[in-house]
Amino acid sequence: MHATILTLLTLLPIQAAPSKPPEPASPIEIRINPLVDLHYWVRRLAAESGELPVVEGLPAAVAAARRVDTELGGWTAWGVVDGNLVEAGSVDELVRLAASLPETFQMRGGREVRLREGVARLAEAYRPLEKPFLEKVWPAHQKASEEVAAGLRRDVLPKAPEIFSDLSRHLDVPVPSRPIPVYLVASAPFPRAFTHRSKDGAVCVVALAGMAASEARESMVHEPIHALDLAGGDGDVLSKLESRLRAVPGASPQEVHDFVHTLMFVQEAGTVRKVLDPGHKDYGDTAGYYPKVPRATAVVRPAWEAYLRGEISRDAALDRIVAGFAQK
């Protein structure tokens, strides 16, 4: 009897425990890379005029970065270098990467730069600095970046799908099909956060050390907006607004940029309040961005905040922004 029951039990199919659905992949991937940190530290020192820290190899590295900055035409053009450099984790890797780059690159406006030579020159300047940097500077930089990363992984990454869904809904930007790499560095030159094109898409670099937690959270939304805008082509809200503003007679390219950039700040703050912290104060206020662009702030902020509150449609908000831009 018992044997028969056991035989029957062995013949019955085993019911597997129900599996949990896989967690959605985060649209953001936080990365910390010593060579990227070294590079942005050198770039910050090259942009300043003060006395350099006493680190072997640093003066030559700063001189090389200043020469590349001159050749590129200023900090706004560094993306062609930095979008490639983030792929390297050491100077040896950077040397190999430099050899694979195009010999020349045509900048916006038609000017041609010697890309391969410039990156190779940086790599050679970084070689004698790499070991002293790793021994004397990197431990403190790594600790600062890891502390910020831990807070972001705890407070932001679990909500990242909801953050990007909100951004997509309001700005018509695509939710990324692959995580956007965000490199955290301890220091960087102005404006301390950057989004560059890379061979695999957009990549962000953000210097968050020393920021308040609320500012760090909003910065982690701001730079990915730039990445989403790059991926969105001409069909997203930001691109359409830029086109409409450029069509206004007498439009200044700088003011067009300021109006579009201000909309990013207003939207990111609204998303942070909706998804992460209802009491969040705009980074544009706390970091002093809004006072730097008073006309853009006076026009864009009330219009877009009215839209986010549901008081007017998105088209109506954009119409108000364009009309305000046209009033001189």
Q: What pLDDT, on a 0 to 100 scale, did the predictor assign at position 165? A: 93
Q: What pLDDT, on a 0 to 100 scale, did the predictor assign at position 24? A: 54
Walk along the chain (328 residues) in steps of 10 and give the mean pLDDT of each run.
36 43 70 97 95 96 96 88 93 95 84 91 97 97 93 91 93 86 93 85 84 79 82 81 96 96 95 93 90 97 98 98 94
| Contact partners, residue 65, CB within 8 Å, separation at least 6 | 42, 43, 45, 46, 122, 125
Q: What pLDDT, on a 0 to 100 scale, did the predictor assign at position 21? A: 44
Comparing CA positions, the residue from 252, 247, 253, 242 lying closest to residue 300 is 242
Domain extents for the chain? 28-214, 233-326
Q: What pLDDT, on a 0 to 100 scale, did the predictor assign at position 7? A: 35
Q: What pLDDT, on a 0 to 100 scale, did the predictor assign at position 214? A: 76
Q: What pLDDT, on a 0 to 100 scale, did the predictor assign at position 111? A: 81
Which pTM was predicted?
A: 0.84
Q: What pLDDT, on a 0 to 100 scale, did the predictor assign at position 169? A: 94
Q: What pLDDT, on a 0 to 100 scale, did the predictor assign at position 226? A: 83
Q: What pLDDT, on a 0 to 100 scale, did the predictor assign at position 244? A: 97
